[in-house]
Amino acid sequence: EEGITVDELSQKIGQTPANVIKVLFMLGTMVTINSSLNDEQVELICMEYGLECKKVVPVSEVNFEDLEVVDDPKDLVPRPPVITIMGHVDHGKTTLLDHIRKSRVAEGEFGGITQHIGAYQVSVKGKKITFLDTPGHEAFTAMRARGAMITDIVIIVVAADDGVMPQTREAVDHALAANVPIIVAINKIDKPGADPQRIMTEVSELGLMPEEWGGDVPYVNISAKKGIGIDELLETVTVVAELAELKANPKRMAYGSVIEGRLDKGRGPVATLLIQNGTLRSGNPIVVGATYGRVRQLVDDRGREIKSAGPATPVEITGLNDVPEAGDKFMVFETEREARHVGEERAQKKIEEERNSTSAMSLDDLFSQM
Ligand code: GTP
Ligand code: MG
């Protein structure tokens, strides 16, 4: 969860960052201009200045829950686990995923950096596993946070020649906050000077006690590049997933999250979705974030057009009016009329939110001129 920083808050309330830092200091907390503040701290500062503070929930986080159907337990069937691969930049996340699905994403990527979260499904001994890749670059905190939220298990990749780095810590924090099982993959053990034992000690200090030291976190030594330890890692994933007894209801209308949205010159708005529950079919009326439409093309992770997809499956769809944002929620509706109604309402709400944040901005301008 990303809080507002001291700098951002002071701009919003028209105080200098030094004043905000002073208030918190007097209340016993040391912060810097770039520290992010939790809700309680924001509230304390607002109280200090006699302001009323209200947290604006972005439209992407508004749930469809008032419309949601509760599943009948007898409709629930086992579903594939969703695994997110996280870790510091260049520690080998994409190479690992790449090795797992035996294609070559890492080489094709611009500059070798994962720009977007990728989503793929693979079969391990006849059992499906869905993998999400996340970029390690520091600018992508929100993606890692979302990745942790929609996932069942997180694999933290740590390069044995580099050790715990800032995005390693941050990824672990997201995974712990999401309260999902964690598997640590110590990568690049093929490299001269790699010291997996030292890395294990470092990572364990983040609160991830290894199983072999009496804790509950599996650690696996791998080389994503040479293909060492991958089978053991997948085996571990399968064991952890089985313990979780994941179930979903393929009979219901689909809902889930947007992994990525983009505008394609020929196909129009394209969204990569992770179906979290239900079955998505081509032709379904759908609301995605603040946009809506009818699923025109449904494409699987290998680019094949399909008619329907079940729980825990990543798919690409076309047929939306606008490009949704990563992290937006989606939901299928009975009729196109309903989808349009809900979609337009949400679009309206989003416009209002944007207008509100603009007026807050001009208030800041006013303050800065005083
Ligand atoms: P971002 O997406 O930018 O965060 O990076 P990433 O974690 O996906 O790293 P990526 O898979 O792109 O790998 C970074 C570099 O490390 C590449 O040059 C890989 O070839 C190399 N690499 C990955 N795994 C291994 C490994 O096991 N051994 C060695 N020697 N090199 C590896
Ligand atoms: Mg990558």
Q: What is the pLDDT of residues 112-154, one digit of tens each?
A: 444 444 788 888 888 899 999 888 888 778 778 887 788 999 9
Using CA atoms of 199, 202, 203, 206 in order, give the dihedral in degrees to the nearest 10: -170
Other residues' Cβ atoms within 10 Å of the Cβ of residue 191? 15
Residue located via tokens 């309330």: 13
List alpha helices for 69-155, DSSP H: 93-101, 105-108, 141-149
What pLDDT, on a 0 to 100 scale, did the predictor assign at position 110?
46
12 CA to centre of ligand 2 in angstroms = 35
State the Cα torsion 19-20-26-27 to the nearest 10°: 160
pLDDT of residue 187: 98
What interhelical angle do 141-149 and 166-178 show, nearest 10? 30
Q: Looking at this predicted complex, what is its ipTM?
A: 0.99
User: Per-residue DSSP letters for 290-317?
Assistant: TEEEE---EE-TTS-B-SEE-TT-EEEE
Q: Phi, psi (5° rounding) for residue 350? A: -65, -40
Query: ∠ at Cα 197 (191, 199), nearest 5°?
Result: 75
| Residue of minimum CA distance from atom 10 in ligand 1 | 92
For residue 120, which of 152, 157, 155, 94 has the smallest C-alpha distance?
94
Residues placed in the known binding site for GTP: 87-94, 133-137, 187-190
Mutate to test the pocket of ligand 1, among 134, 140, 225 (most ligand atoms within 8 A of CB): 225
Angle at 116 between CA 115 and CA 119, to 5 degrees: 140
How far apart CA 92 and CA 96 sit, in angstroms, is: 6
What was the pLDDT predicted at 72? 84
For residue 247, count CB atoms less than 10 angstroms from its CB and return exposed for 0-12, middle for 13-18, buried for 19 or more: middle
Pairing relationship of beta strands 280-281 and 308-309 according to DSSP bridges = antiparallel
What is the rounded CA–CA span in Å between residue 289 and residue 59?
A: 7
What was the pLDDT predicted at 11? Answer: 87
Residue in 90, 222, 230 to alter for ligand 1 test, most ligand atoms within 8 A of Cβ: 90
R_g of the chain computed on alpha carbons = 22
Ligand 1 atom nearest the C-alpha of 134 is 2
Residue whose Cα lies nearest atom 21 of ligand 1: it is: 92
Length in residues, the chain: 370
For the record, the structure tokens of 239 come out as 């064991």
pLDDT of residue 106: 47
Say if strands 127-133 and 82-87 run parallel, antiparallel, or are unpaired: parallel
Cα–Cα distance measured from residue 37 to residue 45, given in angstroms and rounded to the nearest whole number:
10
Tokens representing 270? 């394209």
Q: The pTM is what?
A: 0.77
Say how many C-beta atoms besides its own lie within 10 A of residue 61's C-beta.
10
Asked whether the beta carbons of 96 and 107 are under 8 A apart, the reply is no
Backbone φ, ψ for residue 357 (5° rounding): -70, -30
Question: What residue ranges of the chain have pLDDT lower than 50?
Answer: 1, 59-62, 104, 106-107, 109-117, 361-370
Q: Which residues define the annotated binding site? A: 87-94, 133-137, 187-190
Strand order in the sheet with 255-264: 291-294, 285-288, 329-332, 255-264, 268-277, 314-318, 298-299
Token pair, residue 27, equals 């209340």
pLDDT, tens digit (0-9, with 9 covering 90-100), for 80-98:
999 999 999 999 999 998 8
Strands 153-159 and 182-187: parallel
Contact 309, 278 (CB under 8 A): no
Contacts of 248 (CB under 8 A, 6+ apart): 71, 76, 77, 79, 276, 277, 278, 310, 311, 312
User: In Å, how far are 84, 275, 301 from 246, measured between CA atoms?
Assistant: 15, 14, 22
Evaluate: CB of 229 within 6 angstroms of ligand 1: no
